[in-house]
Structure 1
Amino acid sequence: MSDDLLDGYRSLSDRFDELREADGTVRSHWRPFLDDLRASAPAQLAERMAMVEREIREHGITYNVYADPQGADRPWVVDPIPLLLDEADWEMIEAGVAQRARLFNLILKDLYGPQQLLREGLVPPALVYGHRGYLHPARDIRPPGGIHLFQYAADLARSPDGRWWVFSDRTQAPSGMGYALENRLMVSRMFPEAFARLRVQHHAAFFATWRESLAHLAPRGDGPQLIVLLTPGPYNETYFEHALLARYLGFVLVEGSDLTVRQGKVWLKTVDGLRRVHAIVRRQDDDYCDPLELRADSALGVPGLAECARRGSVLLANGLGAGVLESGALMGYLPALCERLLGEPLRLPSVATWWLGEPAALDDAWARLDELVIKPADRSLTLQPVHGRSLGEAERAALRAQIELQPHRYVAQEWVRLSQAPVLDRHRPLHLAARAVGLRAFAVATPDGHAVMPGGLVRVGGPGDTEAISMQRGGGSKDAWVLCEEPVNSAFSLLRTTVTPDDLARSRGHLSSRAAENLFWFGRYGERSDCTARLLRVALTRSVSEAAEQEEGAAAAWALARAWGLLDDTSDAVPALLRAATSPDQGLGAVLTQLARAGFHLRDRLSLDHWRVLQQLAHDEVFQKQATLPATLNWLDRAVIGLMTLSGFALDGMSRGTDWRFLSIGRRIERLCFLTQALEAALSAGPDSGLDWLLELCDSSVTYRSRFLVAPEWLPVLDLLLRDDSNPRSVGFQVRGLVDFVQRLETQHGAFAHHGLVRCADQLTRLAPTDLHPDNPALGPLLIGLRDSACRLSDDITHRFFTHALPRSLLHMAA
């Protein structure tokens, strides 16, 4: 790369520049990285950037910006140039963040315990009791190990003189660790040589410490220890992170409806019964956690969870009520609190903050309003920050009057001139531009103190956005590299070095009822998508064919398309079929949306290959434009291939456990229903109608021709598609598989299923070759009976496994 790498990089005189010294020279710890960047071929760097963007898109790495036009599909934005932090800089940050985490834990312990700080006047009572985050039901809860604050995050900014300041504390359910991990995986792959040569501290040891600390502090009993990650659900803005962390750390991803309370303990509802939960990493807000004691209208929580925390039967990370510490109003009192509780000065200072609930503070802040930002003291309030210097006289008066009505709800904070760091300039490829940055640093509690993630999540402002950085406002991100003088232990892995019998037991029996239901419907929607794509392809090709035998099949295919909801009696067939194939809101597009939605609920269970294929199908370019007939047929070919790939992952990539069984049952029920409808359509078309279309629809043309050297005839076609249980596309194959699956489930879980399917299977077995002709009046009722039995089986499975019931061993607990 040429030496004009920094031609477009402009330093601002009133801000700290992470890349350059005050005299314009490049800082020493940045020089090796820039040398590597200059040595990269432009084509190579462009290829790596494209790889990162493709990975974000295909892996579905998202951050939902509420009210954003892209909604839940808004891709995560990561700049490939990391923020480099030298060892001395990081040591100061690490010590300061660990100290704040210790301090906040002690503050929580007092506020929900003896409240000595309130009695001594070190914290104004109105600041605590007037904050929505203070939960009275959490009083006197003593968590295991005395750890109220297990996870903590600090939002840092560097002032123009180079000092780091904290401008926000995250104590309720801090987010970002998963995105920091994903950024590290992508950026380190983009610059592997520089990553190794600069001796960047790794993340694996931090995550291992997190997991081991949870296991150490959590209570025990009732079988192997179980840790779950509680998410508000797939429509939360950081759901991708929840699924990533659960998969990476080996936790079970759950929603509130997956958990229940019995006898003062928390249990996970699984298809095998209830499993004791020992620790919950919660990623939902405090007041939504328990509708019984906290927010009564919450559909996300677990009734009785607060009582379990009170009893100490479950470890909550973080403890209920930790959100009160997110009040910016507390920042001004931290220096005195640190001296009182830790006996040492606060190492990492907060940005100057005034709580306007004190009249003197309000007057003092108003005298310097041009230098301040007015913010809500409670983050849950929907009040936007207001920059004092942007207000006219009338606006100032109106704001003052508004604040004086409820002054305890507001804080004034010094306006932070954020430091700037280099990013790749997308408008001038392969050049660097300057953007405002902030660092979110993370800490977790351990038995020996708090461990801090080396680096963290760097948030990046957009062009011209120098006053604030917010992911909800569409900001970007980057990785943070902490550089070391000594070699880094790159061999450390989060994976266990040994497996114990408890680990074997822990690895089984954790399929939640909700996950089983999503797997079941993932199988059904996957097969429904495949059937829809094949039917549209057959119907379209025969609709435009001039061959007589093809035209014969078109009428039967159209009849099946009407039964399948792809055509109506009034529409012109070809345009309607084109819409059904290419519209994102109907036909194939609608079914793929349902498939993607079921897959989204299974993010922690699907492999990256699974997810990549699913994303490609759901977001194919055909849905973005009006496609011609050739383009539509080409798309249907791609769709069939992609859906066969998805089914292949289930066939070859999933172990034959209960999760695979539920997915396979869903697929077979759906295929059985489709095959019976297809055969009914063929029989209704009459004995003289062609059968080529039916063989093609059922993907059995090659099998037929390899067995019978004659044109398609009713006897061999019906034998192949109806009776032959060795043909994976036959009715008999689906019935035999379903009966086997049901028997296996009943062996484990007891009888539950309606056995009409078994009776129909017996009728199917008793069919003689002489019965296989289109005039046989028994075939129609048999096909209808098979389909009805499959639908009843679906209902039986739903009632038995997805509408959770207690196992016999725990029935006495509910009495």
Structure 2
Amino acid sequence: MSDPLLEGYRLCPQRHDEMLAAPGELRPHWCRFMQALAASEPAQLAERMALVEREVRENGVTYNVYADPRGADRPWEVDPIPLLIAPEDWAQVEAGVAQRARLLNAVLADIYGAQTLLTQGLIPPSLVFGHRGYLHPAKDIRPPGGVHLFQYAADLARSPDGRWWVFSDRTQAPSGAGYALENRLVVSRMFPEMFRELNIEHQAPFFASLRESIAQLAPRGDGPQMTVLLTPGPYNETYFEHALIARYLGFVLVEGSDLTVREGRVWLKTVAGLQRVHAIVRRQDDDYCDPLELRADSALGIAGLADCARRGTVLLANSLGSGVLESGALLGYLPALCERLLGEPLLLPSVATWWLGEPAALEDAWRRLDDLIIKPTDRAAGSEVLFGRRLSPAARDALHERVRLQPHRYVAQEWVRLSQAPVLDRQRPRHLSARAVGLRAFAVATGSGYAVMPGGLTRMGSAPEADVISMQRGGGSKDAWVLSDGPASSSLSLLRTTITPADLKAPRAHLSSRVAENLFWYGRYAERSECAARLLRVALARCVAETEELDEGSLPALALAREWNLIDGEGDPVAELLSAATQPDQGLGAVLRQMGRAAFSLRDRLSIDNWRTLNQLVQDPVLTRRASLPAALNWLDRAVTTLVTLSGFALDGMTRGTDWRFMSIGRRIERLDFLALSIQSAMEAGHGSGLDWLLDLCDSTVTYRSRYMVAPEWLPVLDLLVRDDTHTRSIGFQLPGLLQMVQKVESLHGGFASTLLAGSAEALARLAPEDLSPENTALQTLLADVRESAYRVSEAVTHTFFTHAQRSQTRVST
């Protein structure tokens, strides 16, 4: 095939090429795709690459590289060109991965059961007991259905001869399936015609099997069956995936603090009381799961979880202690174990591995060090993968001494050059370059064996010459397309065909206290952001309009900005306001970041449209560079519009459940406080300052002018902003609304705050038009009481719903 796409794309004699069989000769299963790609104009390819990047950015797809300054904000890298896998290749991988999962499940059952493999010498006892992944408290735990290894992932790659090899096993909390799903959603939209025409196998049946298997294996009782996905939290590198899978499968996303153990069972702490948890899909390392029996310093786990697993009152996927199988030292023993336990040869071989805990293996490995890599048996140990041929004599001696002191902690593996696949050149869209690739394949236990996800997650090296593929080292990813000989499965979704009465859920079901708290603060920060943007816009506009020397008397908006800690008032007002408007760590930028953090913890509850709008706001380019005054004013207009849009999502897109009420209570508290403070500032400034700024700040200019054909005066302005119960930007609307919200929550969960608002509400009702004057004591007292009541309601909500010091008895939601 002669095409500019392949100009500069070079075969590497030491690597298997996924696309080319020989220079210029496409492999048969790549022909149709490459023909379609070659027919694309350069502008189309550039547009597709831009669309992929925009989709990733707006969807907030991230992977936290701990050494990267961008941290949790580092975007996930997806190359638009999928890895194509021929049907016959995939049949080999699928059978081998399913067999390997069955084998490792049997090994786990023995290690934590009869330990026959250890007593008979098929596995050296020191290999197991010397690994930090072996958990003695997990001994004799018998999971439901005998499934220790509910989920499994294998890291695969091709050697230069084209054979598939397993480089490592992921058995503890295998990650990547959610990223594979996201890659599919993104890439299939880039090439929709080819996705249909090539009969690509779908991923939905795999996820359906996962959900159905949990429902079959999990215990029952204490209400409808509940499955939760346990995450270490928003700062974990794969948190995006946790939120995506929870939302996709309908699981409740929880952190360890959301769960508690009572009477030998696991419960979710919700605003409605405790609700029984029947299954936990964990994305947390073994030893962090239970501070009572495992790692005592863990703040992420659930005290008593191991005892619940021992009693069989909760399904853990995967079971505790499964991390021991991630030891690279086991790879060399699997062929014999497969013959012994399954009575069949191992279908997918492991890369040649020497466990250095055996003296003969250590001696043999050091003789051939140039062809090997050395790495720890425990992948969490933090040690680098070392290439023998790249070590200096001094480094070899130092490594040999380190290994000699603790040989059981190291393995040597044959260095195999990974296969390469094409990627689109970001600088030259009509040109392809090659990157090393590996495939992470996923399996899940079902009633008839293990089901394997078609394709899985393709990972690629960070640079053309990269020898190691690691997302923590900046690697990227691809979608993996498994071609089918016939029409692909028509199953495209996880929707059930039948809903029974037992499947119906109350609108307030499973709202954990932590989620309620994040919703409450998301509401507060969203409203605080809008107030800050409006205030900065009004203050900047008036600063520009002033021709005389600025002072707080003539510019109450500036005084209010100082009162609200947006500026300190000691420098040039315009410069300070510009910084507060556009610097990411000051003023509006700081509040937006706090809103983004609260939203990030609610990933599984925000719609895609909501999340995209939020991302566009917090990632606006103006926050990354110093903006001019016109650019800042334009940005503030844009910010206000976007924040109003986000308010619309809450108003129009959320069901009126308890979650919506917590968010709305937060918004109303913040708006009440800001309204009262703004009116107080105007009253303190007196008659000389004018009231146009106050109407602009409270988005009330149009309403005022539609009613009164006069310049703003105190009586009509205060009537509009204080007494009017039809105007959403008035205390007369917000205070009764907050009281009604609180009373509705109290009708479900008991009294906690309505009495705190009663006095202010009564005082507001007694306020007469004659009282609407800046000098009126009753009005001044009312504004102060409104602010104090809002603060006290916030405290009451926090103490009642967001702390868990034995405040409620077990209540089961049915």
**TM-score surpassing 0.5?**
yes
Structure 2 counterpart of 1:154, which letter? A
Structure 2 counterpart of 1:742, which letter? V
1:789 aligns with 2:789: yes
Partner secondary structure for residue 434 of structure 2 = strand
Structure 1 counterpart of 2:177, which letter? M
Distance in 2, matches of 1:511 and 1:581, equals: 35
Instruction: Kindly state the Cα deviation for residue 241 of structure 1 after the two structures are TM-superposed.
Output: 0.4
Distance in 1, matches of 2:810 and 2:396, equals: 63
| Residue in structure 1 matched with residue 718 of structure 2 by the alignment | 718
Instruction: Kindly state the Cα deviation for residue 13 of structure 1 after the two structures are TM-superposed.
Output: 0.9
| Residue in structure 2 matched with residue 214 of structure 1 by the alignment | 214
Distance in 1, matches of 2:505 and 2:575, equals: 56
Instruction: Kindly state the Cα deviation for residue 394 of structure 1 after the two structures are TM-superposed.
Output: 2.6
Distance in 2, matches of 1:785 and 1:596, equals: 31
| Residue in structure 2 matched with residue 432 of structure 1 by the alignment | 432
Instruction: Kindly state the Cα deviation for residue 249 of structure 1 after the two structures are TM-superposed.
Output: 0.6
| Residue in structure 1 matched with residue 406 of structure 2 by the alignment | 406
| Residue in structure 2 matched with residue 346 of structure 1 by the alignment | 346
Partner secondary structure for residue 725 of structure 2 = coil
| Residue in structure 2 matched with residue 561 of structure 1 by the alignment | 561
> Does the CA contact (< 8 Å) of 2:252 and 2:510 recur in 1?
yes
Matches within 5 A, 1:493-532: 493-505=493-505, 508-532=508-532
| Residue in structure 1 matched with residue 330 of structure 2 by the alignment | 330
Matches within 5 A, 1:182-193: 182-193=182-193
> Does the CA contact (< 8 Å) of 1:373 and 1:387 recur in 2?
yes
Q: Which digits, 9 at most, give the CA deviation of each residue in 1:556-589, with x for residues without a partner?
A: 1122111111232422211111111111111111
Distance in 1, matches of 2:510 and 2:568, equals: 45
Distance in 2, matches of 1:604 and 1:685, equals: 46
Instruction: Kindly state the Cα deviation for residue 552 of structure 1 after the two structures are TM-superposed.
Output: 9.1
Change (3 A) 1:206 1:795: same
> Does the CA contact (< 8 Å) of 2:567 and 2:587 recur in 1?
no
> Does the CA contact (< 8 Å) of 1:543 and 1:554 recur in 2?
no
> Does the CA contact (< 8 Å) of 1:273 and 1:806 recur in 2?
no
Partner secondary structure for residue 330 of structure 2 = helix
1:265 aligns with 2:276: no
Partner secondary structure for residue 30 of structure 1 = helix
Q: TM-score, normalised by structure 1?
A: 0.98
Structure 1 counterpart of 2:87, which letter? E
> Does the CA contact (< 8 Å) of 2:6 and 2:24 recur in 1?
no
Change (3 A) 1:132 1:738: same
| Residue in structure 2 matched with residue 418 of structure 1 by the alignment | 418
Distance in 2, matches of 1:392 and 1:774, equals: 81
Identity %: 70
1:703 aligns with 2:720: no
Q: Which digits, 9 at most, give the CA deviation of each residue in 1:669-713, with x for residues without a partner?
A: 000000000010111111343111111100000001111111111
| Residue in structure 1 matched with residue 667 of structure 2 by the alignment | 667
> Does the CA contact (< 8 Å) of 1:545 and 1:551 recur in 2?
no
Q: Which digits, 9 at most, give the CA deviation of each residue in 1:127-159, with x for residues without a partner?
A: 000000000000000001111000000000101
Distance in 1, matches of 2:751 and 2:6, equals: 72
1:39 aligns with 2:39: yes
Distance in 2, matches of 1:770 and 1:674, equals: 24
Change (3 A) 1:547 1:705: farther
Change (3 A) 1:253 1:284: same
After alignment, is 624-633 or 409-418 more displaced?
624-633
Instruction: Kindly state the Cα deviation for residue 466 of structure 1 after the two structures are TM-superposed.
Output: 3.6
Structure 2 counterpart of 1:470, which letter? S
After alignment, is 517-526 or 383-392 more displaced?
383-392
Distance in 2, matches of 1:596 and 1:393, equals: 51
| Residue in structure 2 matched with residue 631 of structure 1 by the alignment | 631
Distance in 1, matches of 2:786 and 2:409, equals: 65
Structure 2 counterpart of 1:736, which letter? P
| Residue in structure 2 matched with residue 392 of structure 1 by the alignment | 392
| Residue in structure 1 matched with residue 460 of structure 2 by the alignment | 460
Structure 2 counterpart of 1:320, which letter? L
Distance in 2, matches of 1:657 and 1:569, equals: 43
After alignment, is 214-223 or 425-434 more displaced?
425-434
> Does the CA contact (< 8 Å) of 1:687 and 1:775 recur in 2?
no
Structure 2 counterpart of 1:143, which letter? P
Instruction: Kindly state the Cα deviation for residue 508 of structure 1 after the two structures are TM-superposed.
Output: 4.2
Matches within 5 A, 1:687-698: 687-698=687-698
| Residue in structure 2 matched with residue 160 of structure 1 by the alignment | 160
| Residue in structure 1 matched with residue 604 of structure 2 by the alignment | 604
1:742 aligns with 2:758: no
Partner secondary structure for residue 529 of structure 1 = helix
> Does the CA contact (< 8 Å) of 2:508 and 2:658 recur in 1?
no
Distance in 1, matches of 2:599 and 2:811, equals: 33
Gaps of 5+ in 2: none
Structure 2 counterpart of 1:612, which letter? R
Instruction: Kindly state the Cα deviation for residue 506 of structure 1 after the two structures are TM-superposed.
Output: 6.6
Instruction: Kindly state the Cα deviation for residue 811 of structure 1 after the two structures are TM-superposed.
Output: 8.4
> Does the CA contact (< 8 Å) of 2:273 and 2:811 recur in 1?
no
Q: TM-score, normalised by structure 2?
A: 0.98
Distance in 2, matches of 1:60 and 1:505, equals: 29
Instruction: Kindly state the Cα deviation for residue 547 of structure 1 after the two structures are TM-superposed.
Output: 7.2
| Residue in structure 2 matched with residue 533 of structure 1 by the alignment | 533
Instruction: Kindly state the Cα deviation for residue 498 of structure 1 after the two structures are TM-superposed.
Output: 2.1
Distance in 2, matches of 1:748 and 1:765, equals: 27
Distance in 2, matches of 1:2 and 1:762, equals: 83
1:544 aligns with 2:566: no
| Residue in structure 2 matched with residue 799 of structure 1 by the alignment | 799
Q: Which digits, 9 at most, give the CA deviation of each residue in 1:601-653, with x for residues without a partner?
A: 10111111111121122121112211111111111101100110110110111
Partner secondary structure for residue 542 of structure 2 = helix
Instruction: Kindly state the Cα deviation for residue 392 of structure 1 after the two structures are TM-superposed.
Output: 2.6
Q: Which digits, 9 at most, give the CA deviation of each residue in 1:280-339, with x for residues without a partner?
A: 000010000000000000000000000000000000000000000000000000001001
> Does the CA contact (< 8 Å) of 1:229 and 1:280 recur in 2?
yes
Instruction: Kindly state the Cα deviation for residue 550 of structure 1 after the two structures are TM-superposed.
Output: 11
| Residue in structure 1 matched with residue 200 of structure 2 by the alignment | 200
Distance in 1, matches of 2:680 and 2:786, equals: 12
> Does the CA contact (< 8 Å) of 2:552 and 2:559 recur in 1?
no
Structure 2 counterpart of 1:160, which letter? P
Q: Which digits, 9 at most, give the CA deviation of each residue in 1:523-550, with x for residues without a partner?
A: 0000000011111111111112147999
1:28 aligns with 2:31: no
Structure 2 counterpart of 1:58, which letter? E
Query: Alignment RMSD, CA only?
Result: 1.7
> Does the CA contact (< 8 Å) of 1:553 and 1:692 recur in 2?
no
| Residue in structure 1 matched with residue 730 of structure 2 by the alignment | 730
| Residue in structure 2 matched with residue 620 of structure 1 by the alignment | 620
Number of equivalences = 812
Partner secondary structure for residue 13 of structure 1 = coil
Distance in 2, matches of 1:609 and 1:312, equals: 41
Distance in 2, matches of 1:285 and 1:469, equals: 22
Instruction: Kindly state the Cα deviation for residue 758 of structure 1 after the two structures are TM-superposed.
Output: 1.2
Distance in 1, matches of 2:20 and 2:811, equals: 68
Structure 1 counterpart of 2:485, which letter? E
Structure 1 counterpart of 2:395, which letter? E
Distance in 2, matches of 1:318 and 1:531, equals: 46
> Does the CA contact (< 8 Å) of 1:417 and 1:466 recur in 2?
no
> Does the CA contact (< 8 Å) of 1:440 and 1:458 recur in 2?
yes
Structure 2 counterpart of 1:648, which letter? G
After alignment, is 219-228 or 559-568 more displaced?
559-568
